[in-house]
Amino acid sequence: MNEPHRRGYGRRDGDLGLGPCSQEVERRYDVTTITRVVARDIRFPTSLDLSGSDAMNEAPDYSAAYVVLETDGGLEGHGFTFTIGRGNELCVAAIRALAPLVEGRTLESFTEDMGAFWRHVTGDSQLRWVGPEKGVIHLATAAIVNAVWDLYAKAEHKPLWKLLSDMSPEELISCVDFRYITDAITREEALEILRRNEKTKPDREAEMLEDGFPAYTTSAGWLGYSDERLRSLVREAVGKGWTHFKMKVGGDIEDDVRRADLIRDEIGPDRTLMMDANQVWDVDQAIENMERLKRFDPYWIEEPTSPDDVLGHARIAEAVTPVGVATGEHCQNRVLFKQLLQADAISFCQIDACRLGGVNEVIAVLLMAAKFGVPVCPHAGGVGLCEYVQHLSIFDYVCVGASLEDRILEYVDHLHEHFVDPVEIQAGRYVPPRTPGYSAEMKPESLNEFEFPSGGAWATEERTIP
C-alpha cells in the first residue's frame, strides 16, 4: 500500500502514540456527565439515482437515526442506526424513549463496567416488552450504545479499534452479555480465544497499519442500474485495482443471468464475484436459482432467504456448496447468530454494526464466529456503515479471529463526504482510522442539509420520499 502511514500515527512500534490518556484528559473524563441526548432524522435521497437498490428495496433513501450525546466536559458522543427512509422516525422516537437511561449519568459510571452498561440500556422492564433485543428498540439501542463507545474512545484519545485492541481479555469479556449463548460459547471458552491471541496482537496491529484490511466493492452492482452503467462502473473499478465485486440478484432470473454474464465478462475468470439476493427467495427457489447462477463461479450467495429462517439457510447451504452462504445484516441479535452457527447454516458471518445492539453485542458474535471457525465479513452497504465496521474488522483481526483467510470487508462509495472522519481506501484496502472515536460523526452542515423534513435537501417537491 502506498503511503501506509498517511492516516497513521507516525510510528511503527506497538504504542503508536495512542497510549494512556494524559492527566488533563483523565480529569475531563472523570467529570464527563451526559447532559442531553439529541436525536435527529437524517435522510439522503439516494432513490433519485437508485444507488443502493436491490430486489427487496427498489428505491431506498439511505438514512440515519442520528444521536448526539452532549456532555458537560466538552466532548460529544455520536452514533446512529441505519434505515432506508420511511420508518426512520420510529427509530428516532425509540432513541428518545431510551434517552433517560443515559442522561444525567457520567461516562465513567458506564466505562467502569461496560457489560453492566449494556444490560442497563437493554434491560428496562417496560421497554423490553416492545423488544426484547430486536426490532426498532434494538436499532435505537445500537445508536445509543455506539454513541457511548464513540464518547469513550474520544475520552481515551483512541480510535475505537485501538481502544478495544488495547483492552485485556478480561476487560473485553466483561463487555459481553453471555445470557442465552452459553450453550454455544462459555465465558471461559471466550477468554481462551482472546488469551491465545494476546501475545501476537502487536504483530497483527502493525500489519493492519502497514497494509490495511482487504475490501470488496458493491458500488457497481446495484440492481436498478442499467446494463450500460453497470458495465461502465465495473470496468472503472477493475481499472482502480478492485479484485472482489458484489452484484445484486433476486429480480427476474433471466436478468440475473444476463447481468452476471456481463460482470464476469468484465472482471475475467480470476477476480472474485459475490451475489446478494436480499432475502427475496423462498428456500427451494434459492436452490433452483443458484443452480443456474453457479456457472458464474460466485464466492457466496448473500441473504438467499428470510434472515430469520435458520433451517432454511442450512438447507440452502447444503444444496449450493461449494458456493458459500452469507447472511447477518438483518440478524437481530446474538441468539440468531448462535443458531445459524450451530446449524452450520452460514459460511460467512455478516455482522451489522447497527442491527445488533452496538459494540457489546458485536463482540459476542465475533467470539462465537471464532469458536465455530466462520469468517466475519461485515455488512457495510449503508450510510456510515463503512465508517463503523472498519473498526470492528480490524479489532476482530487483531484480537479475536486473528486471521485474514476468507475475510473481506464490504465497501460502497456513497456518502462518505458527509463524515468528519471518512473511510480511506488504498489499493482495495481500508486504511485504519487514526482519529479518536468510532468515526460516526457527521459534519454539521450535512446534518442540517439532510434532516428530514426540514433540511434544504428535502425542501423541494422533487425530493420527497417516493
- What's the pLDDT tens digit per position in 266-301? 999 999 999 999 999 999 999 999 999 999 999 999
Percent of the chain with pLDDT over 70: 91
Q: Which of 191, 122, 150, 170 is nearest to 391 (CA)?
A: 150
| pLDDT for the residue numbered 5 | 29
Distance of alpha carbon 225 from alpha carbon 333, whole angstroms: 32
Q: Which of 284, 291, 273, 280 is nearest to 316 (CA)?
A: 284
More confidently predicted of 349 and 31: 349
77's grid cell: 458522543
Residue 54 has pLDDT above 70, yes or no: no
| pLDDT for the residue numbered 24 | 37
| pLDDT for the residue numbered 357 | 96
Mean local confidence (pLDDT), 60-71:
94
Give residue-wise pLDDT tens across range 328-382: 999 999 999 999 999 999 999 999 999 999 999 999 999 999 999 999 999 998 8
Catalytic residue check, 379: yes
Write phi, then psi, for 9 (nearest 5 degrees). -110, 5
Q: Please report which confidence band the pLDDT of residue 195 belongs to, taking 50, 70 and 90 as the band edges.
A: very high
pTM of structure: 0.92
Residue 43 has pLDDT above 60, yes or no: yes
Give the SS3 label for residue 111: helix
More confidently predicted of 323 and 220: 323
Give the SS3 label for residue 248: strand
Among the options 244, 248, 338, 391, which is catalytic?
248
Mean local confidence (pLDDT), 134-149:
96
Residue 30 has pLDDT above 70, yes or no: no
Range name among 28-42, 50-64, 199-213, 342-356 with the lowest pLDDT average: 50-64
Q: H/E element holding 264?
A: helix 253-267
Among the options 134, 154, 379, 391, which is catalytic?
379
| pLDDT for the residue numbered 68 | 98
Mean pLDDT of the chain: 90
Beta bridge partners of 437: 159
| pLDDT for the residue numbered 11 | 31
| pLDDT for the residue numbered 172 | 98
Beta bridge partners of 419: 442
Residue 82 has pLDDT above 50, yes or no: yes
Range name among 222-231, 249-258, 311-320, 321-330 with the lowest pLDDT average: 222-231
Write down the H helix ranges in 99-226: 107-111, 114-122, 135-155, 160-165, 169-173, 187-198, 201-211
| pLDDT for the residue numbered 50 | 72
Residue 28 has pLDDT above 80, yes or no: no
Q: What angle do CA 261, 267, 272 make, to 5 degrees?
A: 95
Q: Please report which confidence band the pLDDT of residue 17 belongs to, taking 50, 70 and 90 as the band edges.
A: very low
Q: Please report which confidence band the pLDDT of residue 19 belongs to, taking 50, 70 and 90 as the band edges.
A: very low
Residue 132 has pLDDT above 90, yes or no: no
Beta bridge partners of 64: 42, 82
Q: How many alpha carbons fall within 13 Å on the CB side of residue 109?
A: 11
Q: Contact 42/80 with Cβ under 8 angstroms?
A: yes
| pLDDT for the residue numbered 52 | 66
